[in-house]
Amino acid sequence: MGFGKSWRIGTNVELGWDFSLAEVRMVRPKDEEVTTDNLDATAVYGARIGLKYQFFNVLDPDGYGISASLGAAYQPELKPGFIYSKRGDDSQTGGYAGSTPEEGGIDSKIHQSTIFMGAISYRTERVEADGAIVVESSSQDTGISPISVYDGTSVTVGGRYRVTPGLGLGIVYWGSGAPPWRDRINFGLRDINPSDFGFLVTFGSGLERGTDIMISSPTGSFSESLSFYLRVH
């Protein structure tokens, strides 16, 4: 669960922030000899602030047309508010409200990250398409980050077609960059090789408003595992 908000300054500048409120995950082994469930929970982590400038647009009064933007975001290095991890009968806590490493707690900090992007968007009543080049620079000088670290240049593209005014189908590709759920806590799930794309189902007829459900695979095989990401905007 997360929360974010943005404000439009004038016509072409947008300032926003977001952070992750909480994540809880349980992994249940298939091995009949291993019956212990693993439970991980993290609360209040992964804050970011960003600024976007739309330097080009040819749009009608409803917002349909083509536009191009430049943006930057900063994610500070922060200790999570609380971390809980349980392996069998053994449990550990960490973060500001948990145990310190000296007390046997989890030593963990969300890594610092700086993000720059250039993006282009195309909108019609039926078709929506987006493309972006993202450059991310990360640092892990202190602590061990519980979320995946992305560093380098990546390309993200996505498209959506509205089958009906209130239902859209699409696909998104993020390659070696961060997926929409960039703050997912790392956990053991065989040799992790997550998919670099996802299928999209959207509900709602408003431009930039509605509910998105993205389906991908945390192990790279849709026949083996599925994950669902829900976004309301």
Burial class (CB in 10 A: 0-12, 13-18, 19+), 177: buried
The predicted structure's pLDDT at residue 143: 53
Q: pTM for the whole thing?
A: 0.80
Token pair, residue 5, equals 């908000």
In percent, the amount of the chain with pLDDT more than 70 equals 91
Q: Which two tokens stand for residue 103?
A: 């007390």
- Is the separation of the CB atoms in 78 and 110 below 8 Å? yes
Q: Would you state the pLDDT for residue 181?
A: 77
- Domain of 82 in residue numbering reads as 2-232
Dist. CA 206–CA 51, nearest whole Å: 23
Distance separating alpha carbons of residues 1 and 19, to the nearest angstrom: 9
Domain count, the chain: 1
Residue 63: closest CA among 123, 133, 106: 123
Q: What is the largest CA-CA distance in the chain?
A: 63
- pLDDT tens digit string along 60-102? 988 899 999 999 999 998 888 898 888 777 888 888 888 888 8
Q: How far apart are CA 208 and CA 181, in angstroms?
A: 18
Number of Cβ within 10 Å of residue 184's Cβ equals 21
Burial of 104 (0-12, 13-18, 19+ CB in 10 A): exposed
Q: What's the confidence (pLDDT) of residue 29?
A: 67
Beta bridge partners of 63: none
Residues of the chain with pLDDT below 50 are 142
Output the CA–CA distances (angstroms, integers) from residue 177 to 43, 132, 153, 197, in the order listed: 24, 11, 7, 11
Surface-to-core class of residue 151, CB atoms within 10 Å of its CB (0-12 exposed, 13-18 middle, 19+ buried) = middle
- Buried b / exposed e over 188-227, threshold 16 CB at 10 Å, is eeeeeebbbbbebbbebeeeeebebebebbbbeeeeeeeb
**Rounded Cα–Cα distance for residues 195 and 218 (Å):** 6
